[in-house]
Amino acid sequence: MTPTTTATTPTPLRIANASGFYGDRFTAVREMLEGGDLDILTGDYLAELTMLILGRDRMKNPDLGYAKTFLSQMEDALGLALDRGVKIVTNAGGLNPAGLAARLRDLAAKLGLDAAVAHVEGDDLLPRAAELGFDGALTANAYLGGFGIAACLQAGADVVVTGRVTDASLVVGPAVAHFGWQPGDHDRLAGAVVAGHVIECGAQATGGNYAFFTEIADLRRPGFPIAELHADGSSVITKHPGTGGAVTIGTVTAQLLYEIGGHRYANPDATARLDSITLTQDGPDRVRISGVRGEAPPPTLKVCLNKLGGFRNEVEFVLTGLSIEAKADLAKAQLADRLTVTPESIEWTLVRTDHPDAATEQTASALLRCVVRDQNPDTIGRAFSGAAVELALSGYPGFTMTAPPGAASPYGVYTAAYVPAADVTHTAVLADGIRVAIPHPEYTRALEPAADSELPEPLPNTPTPATQQTRTTPTTTPLGHLFGARSGDKGGDANLGVWARTDEAWRWLAHELTTDRLKTLLPETAPLTVTRHLFPNLRAVNFVIEGILGAGVSSQARFDPQAKGLGEWLRSRNVALPAALLKGSEQ
């Protein structure tokens, strides 16, 4: 793929996304191809949990380890993509990009299509696990950058399959191929990283999981996002005309705050300074991203490690009516008495969904959840399930369960590791089988926290430690009446971004929603390490909450294992807001 030029500058590159996770809307590939002009169609299928799922697939069959649904999507739409001249770039190769590339070639031959399929490899470090200190790993994959993808496209590939590249690399690679960027073009590369971060999760950029979703006219079937990349690294986020959802500064801000930490957002090709981003509404369903500054990438690559942590089982008792606490205590005592072997871990959670004098049985009921873990599946398999079921006629009044407990199931433990980039062999395997070694960036910069942004001036009626001004009478209302939030998981940690929609609300947010205040509003975070980062350019704060998800999503340490609802819980909490801020706001 060579740069397409006019008399002065290369034409913009239209890169769309058709998958944000393994299991996303199956028809999105065809919808995006039929919906309008595109140059590149990407698909992101990988997440920490997905790598574990693919690892278990590979244990059963070494020929697997890739996202099987992508192959079915290509059976439906590969011919359409070729007819329209749209290149496909996807990380659906997972743990076996070479295997998926071979299957795609077989598929193309079966369909009578002439498709050049290339792939990128080198991320899989499992064969070197002992050497690198990853003993016991089920999967060990380094996050690669976009230059391997670029090499494949420049050599004429119609489809590029990768393993574990960063999500943003699916956009960086085509941009490098199209514009001819070099490893030292940090600002331009960082602009592509930011655009890639916005569209990587599909419809989350077009109104999905959006705090102010009631303001979007049609969310029944939101369209998938498109990034129009420009030669200077700026971009416009948009979607196909006539599709559902919306692209606004709010929807883009929400996605920018998803699964981030501080101001430096590291990728293998460049570190993007998220505190440099400027968002501008560029027309209906068009948001321009500009001003992104980049720095040299870190000298190390992040590695996604998954191990089998043991086995787990659970049972959920329904407690109805009066004496909920006493019923819960009886269930705990009876189950403990019947277990012949005590599991390594047993966790009880009482969820008080019951209401007094309830009009329906369901609203009169609470849930008591018991989760057990052990290295021996027999300890928490039939023995545990049988002990729970035996309580049916001898337990608390009104005994019932949401479902009978089943067999013990394996669970995984995710950890992040880091290796020198030089220890990883990044390789582009072209459609003709030629292998091209991709050099790592010559210039790197150790990742370190950036100095936090200065606080804005407080509102005139907001007391500060220095002035202790008298506050006007506030109004107590849910935080979410005025502020948006987006939360997600990064291993065992969670991030929670909160943003304001006016400068005045931002001034209140920056001064009032401190780390201590967050811990008061969300008591589950109180004993944990929480770090706050200010983003004045986005009128946002981002909290990183360490350890709230235990050993990561696959360990199921929390009932919301990916922290998807954490931000909505915060928005539901009552706070005292200045009445002037609420005047005229959406309620």
**Residue closest to 152 by CA, chosen among 118, 176, 103, 123:** 118
d(CA 486, CA 250): 11
Query: Can you tell me which residue has the tokens 């589950």?
Result: 524
Do the bridges between strand 40-43 and strand 87-90 make them parallel or antiparallel, or are there none, so unpaired? parallel
CA proximity to 192, closest of 164, 233, 231, 161? 233
Measured between alpha carbons, how far is 576 from 585 in angstroms, rounded to an integer? 15
10 Å Cβ neighbour count for 144?
30
C-alpha–C-alpha distance, residues 405 and 412, integer Å: 20
Q: Residue 167's closest CA among 263, 86, 272, 25? A: 272
- Amino acid identity at 579: A
Q: 251 is written with which tokens? A: 């929807």
Spatial CA neighbour of 269 closest among 185, 373, 206: 185
Instruction: Please list, in sequence order, all residues whose beta carbon lies within 8 angstroms of the beta carbon of residue 307, skipping any fewer than 6 positions away.
Output: 136, 137, 138, 412, 413, 415
What single-letter DSSP state applies at residue 439?
P
DSSP string, 6-62: -SSSBPPEEEEE--SSTTS-TTHHHHHHHHS--SEEEE----HHHHHHHHHHHHH-T
Q: Contact, 164 vs 143, CB < 8 A? A: yes
Q: Which runs of E-coded beta strand occur in 407-466?
A: 409-420, 427-429, 435-437
Strand-strand pairing, 271-273 and 264-266: antiparallel
Distance CA 581, CA 587 (A): 12
Strand order in the sheet with 271-273: 264-266, 271-273, 293-295
And the tokens for 15?
Answer: 């890169």
Check residue 291 and report its DSSP letter.
-
Token pair for 367? 């849930």
Element (H, E) at 532: strand 530-535
Per-residue pLDDT of the chain (587 residues; tens, 9 = 90+): 544 444 467 899 999 999 999 999 999 999 999 999 999 999 999 988 888 889 989 989 999 999 999 999 999 999 999 999 999 999 999 999 999 999 999 999 999 999 999 999 999 999 999 999 999 899 999 999 999 999 999 999 999 999 999 999 999 999 999 999 999 999 999 999 999 999 999 999 999 999 999 999 999 999 999 999 999 999 999 999 999 999 999 999 999 999 999 999 999 999 999 999 999 999 999 999 999 999 999 999 999 999 888 999 999 999 999 999 999 999 999 999 999 899 999 999 999 999 999 999 999 999 999 999 999 999 999 889 999 999 999 999 999 999 888 889 888 888 899 999 999 999 999 999 999 999 999 999 999 988 887 888 888 765 544 444 444 567 899 999 999 999 998 888 999 999 999 999 999 999 999 999 999 999 999 999 999 999 999 999 999 999 998 776 666 667 788 889 999 999 999 999 988 888 756 43
Distances from the Cα of 329 to the Cα of 308, 333, 353, angstroms: 32, 6, 17
Q: Which amino acid is at 477?
A: T
Give the residue among 251, 239, 224, 237 at the shortest CA–CA distance from 292: 237
C-beta of residue 20 within 8 angstroms of C-beta of residue 44: yes
For residue 130, give every residue at least 6 positions away whose Cβ sits within 8 Å of its Cβ, in sequence order, or none: none
How far the first Cα of the chain sits from its last, in Å, is 50
Burial class of residue 343 in the structure, from the number of CB atoms within 10 Å of its CB (0-12 exposed, 13-18 middle, 19+ buried): buried
What pLDDT, on the 0 to 100 scale, is given for residue 467? 41
Q: Hey, what are 276's tokens?
A: 């440099």
Q: Strand pairing partners for 477?
A: 575
User: Which of 118, 94, 108, 117 is CA-nearest to residue 43?
Assistant: 94
What is the spatial distance between Cα 569 and Cα 586, in angstroms, rounded to a whole number? Answer: 19
Phi then psi dihedrals of residue 71, to 5 deg: -60, -40
CA 224 to chain centre: 16
Measured distance CA(498)–CA(485) in Å, rounded: 4
What phi and psi, each to the nearest 5 degrees, are found at residue 21?
Answer: -165, 165
Structural domains of the chain, with CATH: 13-124+143-299+424-437 (no CATH), 315-413 (3.30.70), 474-582 (no CATH)
pLDDT of 474: 74
Of the candidates 157, 295, 179, 184, the one whose C-alpha atom is nearest the C-alpha of residue 235 is 179
Quick one: pLDDT at residue 301? 97
d(CA 497, CA 254): 8
pLDDT of the residue at 490: 84
CA–CA distances in Å: residue 91 to residues 51, 78, 401:
11, 16, 41
Per DSSP, the three-state class of 325 is: helix
